[in-house]
Structure 1
Amino acid sequence: MMMTERDEQAKTQALIAYLLMVFGLFTGIFWVIGAVWAMAKARDAKGTLFEDHYRNMISIFWWGIGLSIVGVVLALFVIGYFILLGVWIWSVIKLFKGLARLTSNLPYENF
């Protein structure tokens, strides 16, 4: 499949955001930077092959933040640690699936 210049740019920007978020799994601050990058570049990717990758990253960020807050609160009752671990594993899976599909020039979801 032939990609347009807009597709190439959207892919490059998504790759940057994914890599920042993956690095952020271990540092925290890069998680936020990657998500902000994805939010800032999402409009430019509208109508491209990679548009749904931006929705994926933004979704991972907001669900991750929300569930992490729940996990921290519930850490007082031990179950929160399992929630935090689950959020981390879920994030890893979603990010690496996105990276694999992005580098194969595929949208995140099969339509």
Structure 2
Amino acid sequence: MDLNEIPMTPHDDQAKRDALIAYGFMLLGLFTGIFWLVGAVWTMTKSSNAKGSVFYDHFQNITGVFWWGLIMSVIGFVLAIFFVGYLILLGVWVWSVFKLIKGAIRLTNDQPYHSS
């Protein structure tokens, strides 16, 4: 057994599955739109079940990506009459991709989102 390996409980396994589904919806939502909302709703409904698991911070990450992405996208759309709005929208998209892929990779490696 690796010293960095986290012992998994059934509660952790369920939290990991739920977070993986949420990451999948959110990543798909970057290209389809509606799945972004589905992933956020999934995350917010399943996060209370994940409390106490080693993967709980993944739910916080996904929720943060959703809300910050939504807020910054609205600002970008409002400013789209100027060129800066498109830069904001591009920045939000790139930031979201980075945060979601980083989280999915850490999740599939059985790691919390934030290292301790």
TM-score (norm 2): 0.94
Pairwise CA distance, 1:2: 2.0
Runs of 4 or more, structure 1, over 4 Å off, are none
Superposition pairs for residues 12-91 of structure 1, below 5 Å? 12-91=17-96
Aligned pairs, number: 111
Residue in 1 aligned with 2:3? none
Pairwise CA distance, 1:5: 0.2
Q: Distance in 1 between the 2:77 and 2:36 partners?
A: 17
Pairwise CA distance, 1:78: 1.1
For the aligned residues, what is the CA RMSD? 0.5
Residue in 1 aligned with 2:10? 5
Q: Distance in 2 between the 1:39 and 1:28 partners?
A: 18
Q: Distance in 2 between the 1:20 and 1:27 partners?
A: 10
Q: Distance in 2 between the 1:8 and 1:74 partners?
A: 43
Query: Unmatched 5+ residue regions in structure 2?
Result: 1-5
Query: Unmatched 5+ residue regions in structure 1?
Result: none
Q: Distance in 1 between the 2:40 and 2:63 partners?
A: 6
Q: Percent identity over the alignment?
A: 57
Q: Distance in 2 between the 1:72 and 1:21 partners?
A: 20
1:62-94 CA distances to partner (integer Å, 9 max, x unpaired)?
Answer: 000000000000011111000000000000000
